[in-house]
Each structure stands twice: as C-alpha cells, then as structure tokens.
Chains A and B, each alone.
Chain A
Amino acid sequence: MSDTPPQTPPGSATPPAGSPGKPASRRDRPQTDEESRWHGVFREITSGSAIISVLAVVLALLVGAVMIAVTNDDVQESAGYFFSRPSDLLGDVWGAVSGAYSALFQGSIYNFGRGSFAEGITPFTETLVFATPLIAAGLGVALGFRVGLFNIGGRGQMLIAAAIGGWVAFAVALPYGIHLVAALVAGILGGALWGGIVGLLKARTGAHEVITTIMLNYVAFYLVSYLLREGFLRTPGSNNPKSPASKETAVFPDLLGPDYNLHLGFILVIAATIFTWWLLSRSNLGFQFRAVGENPNAARVAGISVQRMYVYAMLLSGGLVGLAGINQVLGTTTSGFGATVDSGIGFDAITVALLGRSKPWGVFAAGILFGAFKAGSFSMQAAEGVPIDIVLVVQSLIVLFIAAPPLVRAIFRLPTPGDTPLRARPIVVKEVAAK
C-alpha cells in the first residue's frame, strides 16, 4: 500500500459528539451505520399517541367508504341524474356505505338479526378465531421490530411450521394431549427454524433480512408445493396438492363447544402475548434485544453479542409466526392444507405489528381489530356484494396513516406537539410525548 496513514474514510469517521450549540447534530446527519437507520423507525412505531391510531382507523374507513360508494351500481346510476335529484345520490351513497359497514359490524361483533345472545355473539367469536393467527404472527413481527429486524418472512415461516407441524398431526400416532403438544411444538420449531436461517445469515454474513425473508417466502412456498405434490405431505391416492386431514388427537379442542369455531388457539395466543410482554419488559434477554434494536453499536460495546441477539430474535420471531402457522393446521383448516394455508397472514402480521406499535398488548388489540375486519368482510361480501379486497385497502391505509402522524394531524388540523421545527430534534420530542 501507499505510505498514507491508516485513516478512516470520511464517510465513516464520525468524530465529535453532539455539542450544545447544535443539539440535534447527531440526528441531522444521515446516519452512517447500516443498523442505526432503524432508530427513528422503531421509536416512531413504538411511541406516538393513541389518538393518531384512532384517527387513522377513521380515515381509512372513510376512504373505504368512498371506494364502496363510487363503485356501487345504484350510486353510479343516481349520479347520472345528480343535478335533477341530488338527494337520490346522497341516499344511495348512504345506503351503500351504511349497508356495507353495518354488514361488517354484524359479521364481526354482534348480529342483531339473531334471536338469542348466544347466537348473536357468534360473529365476535369468529373475529377472535381470525384474530388468533394474526396476533401470533403479529407478535413475531413486533418482536423482530424491537430488535431492529424486519421480518417479512411470515409467509415462509408459517408454511414451514404448517408443513412440519401438520405432518406430525396427520402422520404420527400419539395419544390425546401428547399428540397436540407434539404437533404444536413441531410447528413452532418449524417456524423458528425458517426464521433462524435468516438470523444466522444476517449474523454471519450481514445479509439483509428484508431480502432473505422475502426470498425464503418463495423458497418455502415452492418447497411445500413440492412436498404436497410428491413429498411426504402428499395425500396418498390423491392428485390434489393437499395434505391429509390432521388426526383428531392433535386438533385444538373447541373452547365454547361445537356451536362455535373458537378453539384452544386463542388461549395459546393470550399466553404468547403474556410471554412476549414478559420477554421484552421483564427479562434480560428482552433487555438485550431492545438495546440492540435501539443502538446496536452501544450494545456491542457493552458486551452484548449483537450477532447472537439477531439469531435468538429471529428464532423467537419465527417461532411466534410458526404458532400462527400451526394454529391454521390444528385449529382452522384441520381437514388438510394446501400451499396457501398461510392465507396472507404473514403480510397482515406486519400491519398488525405496526398498528400495535410493536408492543405486545398493542399487537393483541390490533390483531382483534383486523380479525374483526376479516370476519366482517365475508358477511359484507355476502350481504352487500362488496369485495373482500376492501379490507386490504383499509388495513394498509391505517398503517400508512399511523406511520405518518404529521399527515393525520394535517388532515384533522390537530396541533403539532412540541416545538415547531419537529425535525430539529424529532426523536427526543416524541420520546417526551410518549412518557
């Protein structure tokens, strides 16, 4: 080499620390370290006020209402003669939107059309059924967020969990109870394995988890498709790429009797929520997770093995998502599963985690809200002919609005908290607001 002194290149050299004259200097600078960019994001996700969340939901529902109204046949018709009879249009808009949303409500919370309370409350139990995997997978994604990892691999982790756990459920003969536990553990381990690969790749080679999780989703999909077609998941004598039904001994028992679909899975996700809360707020592993998520450099200097935390976090995150996967096989579609058994929950989980601001109980609540959307969307489609896709729209809009509080504040003309130049010290201001 040349006779130059071993200087660090200017891009990576970051000498003096923030000085009082320029309080936000560290934040002003685009952060040089790959890991630090999550700082702001995770603060943004985990802090912020509840009012923004509520307003975001309201806004998203409003946009959904517009879409429902605009594409409604009656509305389109009356819009044709709007100037002669404007009231018709308003009436039709009201009819379309209120019809859709009341169907959504009655399909997800309480059906007033039924006689008894026991029947009327059925939709709410359906909501909880739909919420179960959303909460489990949402907890997994949220855990990742707290460690600074973006787990988009929910789909792959669910598929592998369903494949391994499902195989235990239909191919192994075990007594009641033990079989269920075995299948459950196998599924969770399957998810953990698929997540752990990501953690290991990141720890060992620095491969970005966003890329590897996306890619592993497809690998898992094709792998499971193959296994269903020709491998050990194939139903003997069938050409359908579908697994055999789970054995009776492994299936989650119903919680409220045979009239309701609600099953043991819901209890398990409550336990998972409590576990995740304990892990993040009360355990030393969670402490190290959060330290790595907030500032990996400082964590490393304080003796925390960042690499190891990435692996552990992805194992746990994958395991929680795996719980969602095995829940599908043992609780929801026990009659055998295909390669789409994840039914998009892996992606929904991201929105759930974001809406829940990556806090365990927040995720729990967000999961129930999105579960309600899912449950209600079916009756909305059946009753009013509104396509289920509207739920995707509403969900994604909620997350977008929540991620950008200034936008929501601007729309509702709310005052901006803190000092006017929010950007001068963005993180600190929000941190104060959250306390």
Chain B
Amino acid sequence: MKLELRGITKRFGALVANDNINLTVEAGEIHALLGENGAGKSTLMNVLYGLYRAEEGEILLDDKPAHFAGPGDAMKAGIGMVHQHFMLIPVFTVAENVMLGHEETRIGGRLDLAAARLRVKHISDRFGFAVDPDALVEDLPVGVQQRVEIIKALSQDAKVLVFDEPTAVLTPQETDELMVIMRQLKDAGTSIVFITHKLREVREVADRITVIRLGKVVGEASPTATNEELASLMVGRAVDLTVDKAPATPGAPALVVSGLTVIDPRGQALVNNVSFTVATGEILAIAGVQGNGQTELTEALMGLQPRVVGEITLDGKSLRGHSVRQVLDAAVGFVPEDRTEDGLVGGFTIAENLMLDRSHRLPFVKRFNLQLALLAEFATAKVKEFDVRSQGIDTPVGRLSGGNQQKVVLARELSRELRLFIAAQPTRGLDVGSIEFVHERIVATRDAGTAVIVISTELDEVAALADRIMVMYRGRIVGIVPGDTPRAVLGLMMAGEPAPITPEPTTPAPTEGAAA
C-alpha cells in the first residue's frame, strides 16, 4: 500500500512539533525517517496512527484521503505500529495481547483463545519467530516482546508497518535479526516506515531516507549517502562530536568495586559479580545496550539498591550499605539517567532544586531553618555559571527545556566538592548545543582530579568522553578496554563477545589509559 502524508502540522501549545511535513512511502519499500531526538518523528507517526489529531494536512492511502479518529481506524485501514515503548499488557499472555481489540468469541461470549493461539503460531512460524502464545509477556525478553508487537500488527493484516525507534532496546545481534525481519516483511509486500536516529541502521536497511529536523523535512537521501552527509542533514551543521580533551593523567584509584552483585526482588542477579576501579582524573565510560545492568550498577553505587553483595570503596572507605545521603555526603555527585523523574522536582523552583541534595545541612539549613537569602544568592550565581536560560531562579524547573533542566542538575551536583562523579546518560534527549556544554563540564570535572563514570548507550558519546571503556552485557563485565577501541570491537562486546585483545588490568598504570 502506498502511504502519503501531505502538509501535516501538529502544534502543542506554542510549540510546533510538525511543520508542514510531506512524506511518501511507496508500496513495499523501507522508508527511513531520520532525525535527532525530539525532531518530531514520533509525533508525526502518532498523527498517522490516529493517536494525535493534526491541525493541518491530510493522510492518503493509495491516493485516497483517509481520516483516523483513533488507532482503531488506522488499524482498519491497514496501518500497524511497533511502538518504542511496547504497547503490551505485561500480565496478559501473548495470545491475549494479540487478540486484544479484535477478539473472536465462541458461544456464550467466551473468548476464543484457541483461535488466537493459532493465529500467533501461524505468523510466528511464517517468520521464524518462535514465540510461545501462552507465555506471559512480562516473562519474555525484550527482543521477543518486540516480536509480539510485530505479530500484533501483522495479525491485523497491516499493509504499512511503522517501527518507532525499534533498536533502542536491542543488542546489536537482535538488531541484525530485526533487519532481517524487516526485509522479509518488505519482500512480503509490506511498506515499512523505520524511525530512528542511528545512521548505520538506516544505511543498512532503508530504500529511501527522509530527514527531519525541528519538526520540518530538511531533505531526502539515498542509503548510499555517507554518514557525514546524513549527520549534517540531521543536526543542521557539520557535527563534530569529539570533545577537546587532553590525555588523562590518572592518579591513585579512587573508586574500587569488587565482586558487586545486585539482586532484584525476584532473585535475579541484575549485576553479577562486577569488579572494576576508577582512578582520580580519569573518565571510565560504561557502555552497553540499555538494560544490561548499567542502571542497577549506578544505583548500587549510590545506595539506591536494597540487595547488594560485594564491596564498594571510595578512597579506601566503604560505601556499601550506606544510605543515599551518606553516599552523597562522601563527596559523590550523581546525574541520574531520567532527569525529570529522578533528578528534579518539577514543581520546585530552580533555586529549590539546587539545594535538593543539601536539605539537611549547612550552608542552606541552619537549625531547621532554610537560609533563603543565601540560597537565592547561590542560585543566581549558578544559573549564570551554567548558563541556565530561564525567567529567573524562581521559575519551576518543569517549565525549562531539557537542556536547561540538565544544566540545573549539573549545577547542583558539581557545586559540591567531589571525589567521584557519576553521570548516567547525561545527554539523552538534549540538543547539540547542550550536549557540547555537558561534555565540556564532564571533562573539566575529570581535569580537576575527580574520578568520573559516564554511563551511555550511545557509542558516539562513549568514544568522545572515555579514557577507558567498560562494556556490560547481561549484568557482567565483558571487558575493560582503552578509550580508542574501534567501534566494531565495542559493538561485538556489547553483544557479549569478549574483546579480541587482552583486556588491560582493572587498575590502570598511571601512564596508561590515555585516549589517543
């Protein structure tokens, strides 16, 4: 089926998320929609899927205008979607999830689960998915859950299938498998819209590429275009994601982690017997696909995980079993990966957020009383230093842009004397300008002699910042390699293959570990 979007405009208040977007997807092609985080790709697809109503523009299917009041209409018209956050009900079985919304029933209104099972099996066998129709979705690995999403769409005879950032949660291996599936679907005549911001994947699988920036189509490209061409189209200027940084001069080991294991309530080891060291004045980047224990590892370091086995020491003093407050007071700074949920109190002002981690002691608290004048002075200075754009220190942080919010978090965490600085996904969802700022601050922190850990799922970021790289897979360390390790090697490591070269010792010799 041919899909055409004409002049789609979608506004959220004053913000124009999609500005007069035109897009044509021919029958049986894989059309990549490329753009940075926040460029408006997902909004556009939600318009197509009937979840949002566009203010202007129209949708044509096989040259006939179509109107979708909701996802139900879109599905009926043959549009299926594999959502970025899977739209599956965790406590339902695969068959129940697939049948939901268009259930078949037998006499007496009884659900016909047998038919649904058969349907799942049928599609699953056709594409070699190996999905058990009776498994509970919450028990399935992420890659399999994604296949359930695909089965769900296909069971509706979808002619156009939209994949919204499908690889964000997959290992490189699973990603490769997904590419195969996409080609299979294409050969079966399905049109595919592939939304992503990862250039490599686009070039590998797409037939045509449309690039979106700031809600507008900025160009079309063919898969033969180079990475640099695509990247500059995507961000609007030549991108140089490398950061100017001098070679690291690591000092004595600051953080020593040995035999660390984190156990979840179900008894699974999310982090399994992990040992590593971070020296003062170096950046250790922890790379890995989302969900391989990085989050839990940082939480364990911060005292946010209840069941932890092993030892953590900072400058020789143990941190294990300490409360978050004790860890923070031991001169640890922390930028959580989800800043709006874990890093900031949205309804609090900038000033209030700047004292969030010091609500129990001087300088901002004296004998139970808040020192509001002092706080205002401090906040004014920090807003200036970190270039937080706002209407003043009394602005609620919920009203700031993502970049400015992250600057508030950084301002707070970096305004204390630090021995260890942990930044988890520090630039996720930020614009290029903010990314540069954040990267510079992180390097500056390292240069000031602090041990730094950066957790990132983006290889670009890892490569730009790391002095050493530690790759995690399924809760374990695959290896710790120098910062200039080739991407291909890192990619394999992220899929669980040990590094081909001998991993360097966990404690770097003072002269080693500098990135070229």
In the complex, what distance in Å separates the CA atom of A104 from the CA atom of B7? Answer: 62
Stretch at the interface among A237-245, A282-290, A335-343, A359-367: A282-290
A284 and B356 contacting across the interface, CB-CB below 8 Å: no
Q: Shortest distance in angstroms between B301's beta carbon and chain A's nearest beta carbon?
A: 12
Q: Does B38 have its Cβ within 8 Å of any Cβ on chain A?
A: yes
Chain A residues with CB under 8 A of B344: 295, 298
Stretch at the interface among A12-20, A209-217, A259-267, A316-324: A12-20
Q: Shortest distance in angstroms between B187's beta carbon and chain A's nearest beta carbon?
A: 29
In the complex, what distance in Å separates the CA atom of A227 from the CA atom of B431? Answer: 67
Q: Does B24 have its Cβ within 8 Å of any Cβ on chain A?
A: no
Within 8 A of B (CB), among A13-37: 13-24, 26, 29, 33, 36
Given contacts A26-B341, A425-B12, contact A301 B141 (CB under 8 A): no
Q: Among the listed B14, B270, B293, B399, which residue makes an inter-chain contact with A432, where contact means beta carbons less than 8 Å apart?
A: B399
Stretch at the interface among B177-185, B322-330, B462-470: B322-330
B429 and A305 contacting across the interface, CB-CB below 8 Å: no
B323 and A303 contacting across the interface, CB-CB below 8 Å: yes
- Chain A 403-435 interface mask (CB, 8 Å, partner B; 1/0): 000000000000000010100110110011001
Q: Shortest distance in angstroms between B288's beta carbon and chain A's nearest beta carbon?
A: 10
Given contacts A16-B37, A283-B370, A299-B345, contact A419 B14 (CB under 8 A): yes
Given contacts A16-B37, A26-B341, A291-B356, contact A5 B396 (CB under 8 A): no
Q: Does B82 have its Cβ within 8 Å of any Cβ on chain A?
A: no
Q: Does A297 have its Cβ within 8 Å of any Cβ on chain B?
A: yes
Within 8 A of A (CB), among B256-295: 264, 268-270, 290-293, 295
What DSSP secondary structure best describes chain A's contact surface?
Answer: loop
- Chain B 499-514 interface mask (CB, 8 Å, partner A; 1/0): 0000000000000000
B41 and A298 contacting across the interface, CB-CB below 8 Å: no
In the complex, what distance in Å separates the CA atom of A359 from the CA atom of B291? Answer: 42
- Chain A 295-314 interface mask (CB, 8 Å, partner B; 1/0): 10111111111000000000
Q: Does B302 have its Cβ within 8 Å of any Cβ on chain A?
A: yes
A284 and B88 contacting across the interface, CB-CB below 8 Å: no
Q: Does A11 have its Cβ within 8 Å of any Cβ on chain B?
A: yes
- Chain B 284-317 interface mask (CB, 8 Å, partner A; 1/0): 0000001111011000001010000000000000
Q: Among the listed A18, A301, A425, which residue makes an inter-chain contact with B334, where contact means beta carbons less than 8 Å apart?
A: A301
B474 and A17 contacting across the interface, CB-CB below 8 Å: no
B interface residues, tally (CB under 8 Å) = 81
Q: Shortest distance in angstroms between A47's beta carbon and chain B's nearest beta carbon?
A: 9
Given contacts A4-B141, A291-B348, A425-B12, contact A21 B38 (CB under 8 A): yes
Q: Does A205 have its Cβ within 8 Å of any Cβ on chain B?
A: no
Q: Does B142 have its Cβ within 8 Å of any Cβ on chain A?
A: yes
Q: Shortest distance in angstroms between B149's beta carbon and chain A's nearest beta carbon?
A: 10
Q: Among the listed A14, A299, A435, which residue makes an inter-chain contact with B338, where contact means beta carbons less than 8 Å apart?
A: A14
B348 and A21 contacting across the interface, CB-CB below 8 Å: no
Q: Does A7 have its Cβ within 8 Å of any Cβ on chain B?
A: yes
Q: Among the listed B86, B365, B428, which residue makes an inter-chain contact with A17, where contact means beta carbons less than 8 Å apart?
A: B428
B12 and A22 contacting across the interface, CB-CB below 8 Å: yes
Q: Does B336 have its Cβ within 8 Å of any Cβ on chain A?
A: yes
Q: Does A43 have its Cβ within 8 Å of any Cβ on chain B?
A: yes
Given contacts A6-B475, A303-B323, A303-B324, contact A43 B352 (CB under 8 A): no
Of residues B86, B169, B295, B342, which shows the largest number of chain A Cβ atoms within 10 Å of its Cβ?
A: B342
B368 and A284 contacting across the interface, CB-CB below 8 Å: yes
Chain A residues with CB under 8 A of B396: 428, 431
Q: Does B15 have its Cβ within 8 Å of any Cβ on chain A?
A: yes
B13 and A421 contacting across the interface, CB-CB below 8 Å: yes
In the complex, what distance in Å separates the CA atom of A48 from the CA atom of B14? Answer: 22
B291 and A8 contacting across the interface, CB-CB below 8 Å: yes
Q: Shortest distance in angstroms between B163's beta carbon and chain A's nearest beta carbon?
A: 16
Q: Among the listed B14, B291, B369, which residue makes an inter-chain contact with A7, where contact means beta carbons less than 8 Å apart?
A: B291
Q: Shortest distance in angstroms between A139's beta carbon and chain B's nearest beta carbon?
A: 19
Q: Does B39 have its Cβ within 8 Å of any Cβ on chain A?
A: yes
Chain B residues with CB under 8 A of A17: 338-341, 402, 428-429
Q: Shortest distance in angstroms between A97's beta carbon and chain B's nearest beta carbon?
A: 42
Chain B residues with CB under 8 A of A2: 141
Q: Shortest distance in angstroms between A38's beta carbon and chain B's nearest beta carbon?
A: 11
Chain B residues with CB under 8 A of A4: 140-141
Q: Shortest distance in angstroms between B259's beta carbon and chain A's nearest beta carbon?
A: 17
B138 and A291 contacting across the interface, CB-CB below 8 Å: no
Chain B residues with CB under 8 A of A419: 13-14
Within 8 A of B (CB), among A251-299: 282-285, 287-288, 290-291, 294-295, 297-299
Q: Shortest distance in angstroms between B15's beta carbon and chain A's nearest beta carbon?
A: 6
Task: For A26, give the chain B residue with the smallest CB separation.
Answer: B340
In the complex, what distance in Å separates the CA atom of A424 from the CA atom of B329? Answer: 39
A-B contact pairs, 18 of them (CB 8 A): A4-B141, A7-B291, A19-B402, A20-B401, A21-B41, A23-B17, A26-B340, A39-B346, A283-B368, A285-B368, A294-B348, A300-B324, A301-B304, A303-B323, A419-B13, A421-B12, A427-B346, A428-B396
Interface residues of B (CB under 8 A from A): 12-15, 17, 37-43, 85-86, 88, 90, 137-138, 140-142, 145, 168-169, 171, 215, 264, 268-270, 290-293, 295-296, 302, 304, 323-325, 327-329, 334, 336, 338-348, 352, 355-357, 359-360, 364-365, 368-370, 372, 394, 396, 398-399, 401-402, 428-429, 431, 473-475
Q: What 10 A-B pairs have minimum CB-CB distances, sorted nearest first?
A: A19-B38, A303-B325, A4-B141, A302-B356, A284-B365, A21-B40, A10-B86, A7-B291, A21-B38, A302-B357
